[in-house]
């Protein structure tokens, strides 16, 4: 652990080093209520503070851990278990040792190993200290000296997984079963889940890395929706595209349009343009309050390719008598 990674547990809880156990407990309860995830939904900063507060309380509420923390500061975890048989058996006296002279735990270990190497009459073997990617520390080439395990990894860790739902499942809500290793859980997905929604399943995160902690983190499910052939999302609203014929566009019409609740009648105003959207209020997606957003119906004018002789005759008559020219303003444009 670098010096910059050191966490002042007293400062985190807002108490001084002479605080009693009752003072520590009161400070913890106050901060735990303030930063608890249940009252800070989706607030990552509050979630991180909650974990720090729990970590600080776990150490300072335990007299033995607190004593080691007070004596060894940022190195209390490593010193607490790193010397099988006791440091005194190796000829090193920890009492009154000034750990503050080292900028990191690696520096302390390297000097300590240097002392062992200097005391080795064989004098031909050197040892190195390394930190694994998993957060545990150990030694290479020095089998008689136990590795240091990072017991600080006892803070509950959260995990995240993606779940794909159909539009119907997300709109109406559904219960899904998940296999988490040797554990099977049933999760109720509430109605109105949208793409990107994060659902929290308390206490179903990964098992703690440290045997000292029995606390588990949370599992977060991120919702994805399978592609639907008709509906799409536009922000919180649903959007769809409906084709109409040229005569319906000119004269107006009443057509049927699908919604999540089924077919509804929609009035197409005369003279509607292609690309124009009609709003069906309260026919969109469910929200957390149980209300409904809107459904936007985008109009597309479909031009028929195959028409009968009579249809062609009437289209030609319309062309001959038509007074509307949508390109009349093009004459004004020049380079």
Mark the ranges of the chain whose per-residue pLDDT is less than 50. 1-4, 80, 82-95, 115-153
- Tokens representing 299? 């109009």
Q: How many residues does the chain have?
A: 335
CA distances from 294 to 108, 210, 277 (A): 64, 50, 12
pTM to 2 decimals?
0.52
Kindly state the helix (H) or strand (E) to which residue 176 belongs, with its residue range. strand 174-180
Per-residue pLDDT, 126:
36
Q: Which 8-state DSSP code applies to residue 165?
A: E
Per-residue pLDDT, 159:
87
For the chain, the first-to-last Cα distance in angstroms comes to 70
φ, ψ of residue 56 to 5 degrees: the values are: -65, -45
Per the CB < 8 A criterion, the answer to whether 229 and 167 are in contact is: no
- CA dist., res. 14 & res. 327, Å (int): 74
Per the CB < 8 A criterion, the answer to whether 280 and 259 are in contact is: yes
């Amino acid at each position: 652990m670098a010096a910059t990674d050191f966490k002042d547990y007293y400062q985190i809880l807002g108490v001084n080093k002479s605080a009693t156990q009752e003072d520590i407990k009161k400070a913890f309860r106050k901060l735990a209520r303030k930063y608890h995830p249940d009252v800070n939904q989706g607030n990552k900063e509050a979630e991180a503070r909650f974990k720090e507060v729990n970590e600080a309380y776990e150490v300072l509420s335990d007299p033995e851990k607190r004593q080691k923390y007070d004596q060894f500061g940022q190195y209390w975890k490593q010193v607490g278990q790193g010397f099988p048989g006791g440091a005194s058996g190796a000829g090193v006296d920890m009492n009154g040792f000034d750990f503050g002279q080292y900028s990191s735990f690696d520096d302390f270990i390297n000097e300590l190993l240097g002392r062992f190497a200097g005391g080795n009459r064989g004098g031909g073997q050197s040892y190195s200290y390394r930190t694994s990617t998993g957060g545990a520390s150990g030694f290479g080439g020095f089998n008689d000296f136990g590795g240091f395990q990072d017991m600080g990894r006892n803070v509950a860790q959260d995990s995240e997984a993606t779940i794909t739902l159909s539009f119907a499942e997300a709109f109406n809500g559904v219960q899904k079963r998940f296999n988490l290793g040797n554990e099977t859980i049933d999760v109720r997905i509430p109605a109105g889940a949208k793409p990107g929604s994060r659902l929290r399943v308390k206490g179903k995160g990964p098992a703690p890395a440290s045997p000292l902690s029995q606390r588990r983190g949370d599992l977060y499910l991120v919702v994805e929706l399978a592609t639907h052939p008709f509906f799409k999302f536009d922000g919180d609203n649903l959007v769809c595209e409906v084709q109409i014929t040229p005569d319906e566009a000119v004269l107006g019409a009443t057509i049927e349009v699908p919604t999540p609740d089924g077919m509804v009648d929609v009035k197409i105003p005369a003279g509607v343009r292609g690309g124009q959207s009609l709003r069906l209020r309260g026919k969109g997606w469910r929200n957390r309050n149980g209300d409904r957003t809107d459904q936007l119906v985008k109009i597309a004018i479909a031009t028929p390719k195959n028409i009968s002789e009579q249809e062609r005759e009437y289209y030609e008559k319309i062309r001959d008598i038509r007074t509307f020219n949508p390109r009349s303003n093009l004459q004004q444009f020049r380079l």
